[in-house]
């Protein structure tokens, strides 16, 4: 039985007041002419920690990271009135029953790196990518050369939000950089994505063109285990394209759309569509490549699954790529039209992706700001396609991509750099819409709650979820 984590319920320092940037005379004149803030030319020079934003966004609350969570925040999952924020040292559960006054319910110290999180009822699944000496929460760091080192998935019982209990662990090859959830009636299935194999690593051998599928029986989660390791690239993936951050080695992240029987994979050098009608045997039915993409990072379907947004994490999230020199087609989103028919009876699954456009934030960032396309989710406006997305120190952007060929920004929230003298990694890792608010995991500044005030998005406020994992997409 894994050793229980250390749970802290210490309240952090109250959020600091954040000063709003005063708009320039040019902005005022353009606004008077009827132009929105998102239509303005790129702004530059926002001072450290100050805010530049469109008029239809408000910062409702900010909570600094609690003590012991100095490493970066990462991904988010949602259950009831709680938002779970992953951190390289564990995870923090926030009570957002009053979104303007969020409170920390529990801060669980259980280091392991990356800290991708998914939630299913009373169970929390947590990705461990940095090797530990064993699977205990307090285990010291190890190395990938150690055959006994632990990397993979940790399972927590969060039925008592104030006192999560660590109940199981599952080792997976190359650990778990991300995890994506398919919920069944009796079991959950977790697609575990990981990469960076080496002949020197006994638990992470090349070519590693696969994912791991972990089954978690809902009545007996302690029996969680790897039940399949489907090879997605039996003939190898993209290795020869100039400018790749990494060749294709499994996938970086997968978004499942179980209702449609489809999944979209962002797999370093390849973007893929999979038929997941049999979750233990996902089948790649379409592959695309793009000479402008350095690292296929994540994917999101349109509401009707007739399109996909893929993101390119140029520079691995640590470089200043939102500038004129890099341009609008690299470190950006690529939007594709999708025609897909999952397998049915004797009919094989088919899919076709057609490139439509790129989207990149229209505001140039400074040389000390790491900025690139990162994690986001659809805003639940029935039948429409609006996307909220994190861009690290490029902030949070809201995109209208109802016309796949002409995406446009309709709202944004952007802080100044962490430092104006050196590049310090920071900014929004993940930004997702949930029950009327946008929640953002700020890498250095903690947990942000944003409120959107835009009539195009009003219908989303009527949509309420009991639970949300953005990489487990549903139809609105």
DSSP 418-453: S-SSS----SEEEEEEETTEEEEEETTTEEEEEEE-
For 386-421, the DSSP string reads: EEEEE-BTT-EEEEE-SSTTS-EEEEEEEE--S-SS
Asked if the structure places residue 253 within a domain, the reply is: yes
Task: Give the position of tokens 């959950």.
Answer: 188
Number of domains in the chain: 1
- In sequence order, the β-bridge partners of residue 311 are 298, 333
In this prediction, residue 399 carries a pLDDT of 98
- The contacts of residue 344 (CB under 8 Å, 6+ apart) are 277
Q: Is the peptide bond prior to 207 cis by the omega test (within 30 degrees of 0)? A: yes
pLDDT score recorded for residue 2: 59
Distances from the Cα of 228 to the Cα of 214, 215, 221, 421, angstroms = 7, 9, 17, 48
Report the pLDDT value the prediction gives residue 342, as an integer from 0 to 100: 81
Q: Which residues in the chain show pLDDT less than 50? A: 1, 8-43
Contact 64, 13 (CB under 8 A): yes
Give the residue carrying structure tokens 């690593």: 201
Domain extent for 269: 235-360
Could you tell me which of 246, 270, 251 has the C-alpha nearest to residue 212? 251
Within 10 angstroms of residue 242's Cβ, the number of other Cβ atoms is 6
**Cα dihedral across residues 374, 358, 59, 364: positive or negative:** positive
Asked if residue 402 belongs to a domain, the reply is no
Is the pTM above the cut of 0.75?
yes
CA distance 268 to 270: 6
- 43 in a domain, yes or no? no
Burial class from Cβ neighbours inside 10 Å (0-12, 13-18, 19+) for residue 29 reads: exposed
Q: How far apart are CA 270 and CA 290, in angstroms?
A: 8
**Is position 380 within any domain?**
no
Is the residue at 324 inside a domain?
yes
Within a domain: residue 456? no
d(CA 287, CA 302): 18
Q: Which residues pair with 397 in a beta bridge?
A: 389, 412
Alpha carbon distance 418, 369 (integer Å): 8
**pLDDT by residue (tens digit) across 310-335?**
999 999 999 999 999 999 999 999 99
Q: Please report whether residue 242 resides in a domain.
A: yes
- Specify if 291 maps to a domain: yes
């Amino acid at each position: 039985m894994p050793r229980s984590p250390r749970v802290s319920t210490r309240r952090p320092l109250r959020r600091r007041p954040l000063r709003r940037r005063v708009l320039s005379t040019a902005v005022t004149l353009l606004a008077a002419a009827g132009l929105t803030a998102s239509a303005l030319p790129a702004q530059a020079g926002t001072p450290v920690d100050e805010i530049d934003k469109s008029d239809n966004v408000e910062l409702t609350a900010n909570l600094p990271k609690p003590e012991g969570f100095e490493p970066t925040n990462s991904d988010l999952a949602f259950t009831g009135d709680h938002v779970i924020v992953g951190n390289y040292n564990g995870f923090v559960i926030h009570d957002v029953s009053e979104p303007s006054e969020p409170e920390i319910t529990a801060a669980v110290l259980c280091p392991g790196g990356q800290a991708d999180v998914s939630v299913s009822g009373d169970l929390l699944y947590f990705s461990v990518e940095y090797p530990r000496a064993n699977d205990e929460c307090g285990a010291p760091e190890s190395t990938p050369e150690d055959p006994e080192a632990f990397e993979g998935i940790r399972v927590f019982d969060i039925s008592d939000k104030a006192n999560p209990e660590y109940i199981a662990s599952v080792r997976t090859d190359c650990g778990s950089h991300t995890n994506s959830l398919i919920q069944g009636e009796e079991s959950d299935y977790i697609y575990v994505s990981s990469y960076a194999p080496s002949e020197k690593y006994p638990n992470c051998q090349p070519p590693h063109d696969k994912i791991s599928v972990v089954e978690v029986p809902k009545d007996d989660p302690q029996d969680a285990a790897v039940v399949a390791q489907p090879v997605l690239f039996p003939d190898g993936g993209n290795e020869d394209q100039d400018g790749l951050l990494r060749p294709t080695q499994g996938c970086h992240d997968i978004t499942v759309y179980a209702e449609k029987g489809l999944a979209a994979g962002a797999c370093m050098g390849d973007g893929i569509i999979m038929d997941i009608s049999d979750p233990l045997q996902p089948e790649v039915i379409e592959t695309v490549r793009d000479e402008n993409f350095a690292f296929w990072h994540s994917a999101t379907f349109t509401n009707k699954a007739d399109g996909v947004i893929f993101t390119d994490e140029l520079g691995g999230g640590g470089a200043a790529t939102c500038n004129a020199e890099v341009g609008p087609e690299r470190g950006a989103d690529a939007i594709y039209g999708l025609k897909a028919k999952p397998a049915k009876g004797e009919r094989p699954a088919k899919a076709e992706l057609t490139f439509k456009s790129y989207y990149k934030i229209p505001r140039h960032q400074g040389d000390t700001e790491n900025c690139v396309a990162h994690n986001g989710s659809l805003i639940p406006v029935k039948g429409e396609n609006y996307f909220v997305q994190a861009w690290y120190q490029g902030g949070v952007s809201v995109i209208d991509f109802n016309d796949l060929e002409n995406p446009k920004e309709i709202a944004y929230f952007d802080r100044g750099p962490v430092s104006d003298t050196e590049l310090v990694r920071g900014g929004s890792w993940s930004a997702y819409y949930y029950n009327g608010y946008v929640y953002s995991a700020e890498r250095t500044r903690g947990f942000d709650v944003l409120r959107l005030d835009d009539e195009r998005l009003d219908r989303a406020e009527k949509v309420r979820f009991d639970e949300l994992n953005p990489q487990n997409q549903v139809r609105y």
